[in-house]
Chains A and B, each alone.
Chain A
């Protein structure tokens, strides 16, 4: 995939991945949607979403790093609270910037 993606393009691709992985109504997905709490994702769904992102964006993703990107030193429960579609899109944008450089 072209590395020069806009934030909107990344968000759109990510939304499609989440819709496909969790079989949720696309209208439920905004930047603020919490992936664990609002979409009822379980741990294997995060593996699935990570895999689908790797396939779509063409780079490897460290699951731990991806989850920790919402804030340093947080508990697992706090991560679940803060892990939103928007936070994941920001993580992907950052990874894309790193890939470009």
Chain B
């Protein structure tokens, strides 16, 4: 019988609202700091939500951090985050691109964003701009001229910035990754699925090394308007420093975040042979779809329950062995209630003694990057033997009655940890990692 291939995480890099690098990310998280700030990068004075968890670097400050300077002209902000995090992760792993068989190296990244606006949306935008200018009725909107001027006046490479697989392609070029390179876009589960699929690539012998994770940046007018329209963000501008309060009775939606996390997944023997340092082992993954409604979770939470229990089965561990759950924990009324219900259904009485925390209370919701950043938090939790808290937790909700690690990090000898992600479209994905023996 052929021995099963084991998959380890051998490098990581992050760009988060706490700044550049995994060290800062971890230090601020265990301090229980909030990264919430009032938005000043564009005028939000007439929008219902005026705060977010922004990466504290402007485009100008990000650009010198990217090795391939020519790539900048085809990288959106999220793409820049991905490249910076990938550089840190590769350096951290000690892997040298020239020593890797290029066809055994692949990529699996989660990406989101809005892409280019569709015709209906741009048509509305033209009218709104004219109205906002106070232009009198009777002015003819010459659309064909608008399209022509756009063609002539916008840099022809601009559309590439909106393609979700461009950051993947740039990282592939930089590290000569010629194996399976894929980009997954499933809203808030994008990067959890990306890591899960990367894990499968190595486990099933398709690749030896995968550069994986995700990035996103939606703290821009389009992104903020979109999430405001859907009514999922906190509007608590008065108390913006503590408005992200998952599982708290007073929660009123999530805080939008941005950033990236990249992890290097590697076959265990490959990592050992080259003298690499495995952080943790990836032992389980599952992904399901509710097939119910686009944004409502089914009342019985079948999709999330199935994702958690199948991940446990895939990892060949029983529910009793889970030491910590990094919750999706967005801070919307429905998510936190349904996720709590799903955890209680899968874990039974044991659910009450498993620490469950939401790092979104500190970092906000990084959308397509959320799963990868939260998995990075889990990796560091195991290594530092410490659980990051759910901050801003003051008033318990009777329907959310688990141990949410309120307000302060907690020392704990963690062995096996699960990270949950649930997203629009009824997407559910869970990853399980454990300490390397």
Task: Determine whether the beta carbon of B70 is less than 8 Å from that of A44.
Answer: no
For residue A41, which residue of chain B has the nearest CB? B70
Contact of A23 among B70, B152, B155, B160 (CB under 8 A): B70
Task: Determine whether the beta carbon of B157 is less than 8 Å from that of A47.
Answer: yes
**B45 close to A (CB within 8 Å):** no
Task: Determine whether the beta carbon of B72 is less than 8 Å from that of A23.
Answer: yes
Total number of A-B contacts with CB less than 8 angstroms?
22
For residue B74, which residue of chain A has the nearest CB? A44
Q: Size class of A's contact patch? A: 10 to 19
Contact bitstring A40-51, B, C-beta under 8 A = 1, else 0:
000011011011
Offer 20 A-B interface pairs, CB within 8 angstroms, sorted by A: A21-B73, A22-B70, A23-B69, A23-B70, A23-B72, A44-B74, A44-B156, A44-B160, A45-B70, A47-B156, A47-B157, A48-B155, A48-B156, A48-B157, A50-B156, A51-B155, A51-B156, A52-B155, A54-B152, A60-B152
Complex Cα spacing A45 to B73, Å: 10
CB contacts (< 8 Å) of B70 on chain A: these are 22-23, 45
Closest CB in chain B relative to A47 CB, distance in Å: 4
Complex Cα spacing A56 to B69, Å: 22
Task: Tell me the A13-71 residues at the B interface (CB within 8 Å).
Answer: 21-23, 44-45, 47-48, 50-52, 54, 60
CB contacts (< 8 Å) of A23 on chain B: these are 69-70, 72
Number of interface residues of B (CB under 8 A): 10
Task: Tell me the B47-75 residues at the A interface (CB within 8 Å).
Answer: 69-70, 72-74
User: For B70, B72, B74, B160, which residue has the most chain A Cβ atoms within 10 angstroms?
Assistant: B70
Complex Cα spacing A51 to B73, Å: 13
Closest CB in chain B relative to A51 CB, distance in Å: 5
CB contacts (< 8 Å) of A60 on chain B: these are 152
For residue B73, which residue of chain A has the nearest CB? A48
CB contacts (< 8 Å) of A50 on chain B: these are 156
Contact bitstring A59-101, B, C-beta under 8 A = 1, else 0:
0100000000000000000000000000000000000000000
Extra contacts, 19 of them, besides A23-B70, A45-B70, A51-B155 (Cβ < 8 A), are A21-B73, A22-B70, A23-B69, A23-B72, A44-B74, A44-B156, A44-B157, A44-B160, A47-B156, A47-B157, A48-B73, A48-B155, A48-B156, A48-B157, A50-B156, A51-B156, A52-B155, A54-B152, A60-B152
Contact bitstring B152-183, A, C-beta under 8 A = 1, else 0:
10011100100000000000000000000000
Closest CB in chain A relative to B104 CB, distance in Å: 26
User: For A45, A50, A51, A54, which residue has the most chain B Cβ atoms within 10 angstroms?
Assistant: A51
Closest CB in chain B relative to A13 CB, distance in Å: 17
CB contacts (< 8 Å) of A48 on chain B: these are 73, 155-157
Closest CB in chain A relative to B153 CB, distance in Å: 8
Task: Tell me the B62-108 residues at the A interface (CB within 8 Å).
Answer: 69-70, 72-74
CB contacts (< 8 Å) of B74 on chain A: these are 44
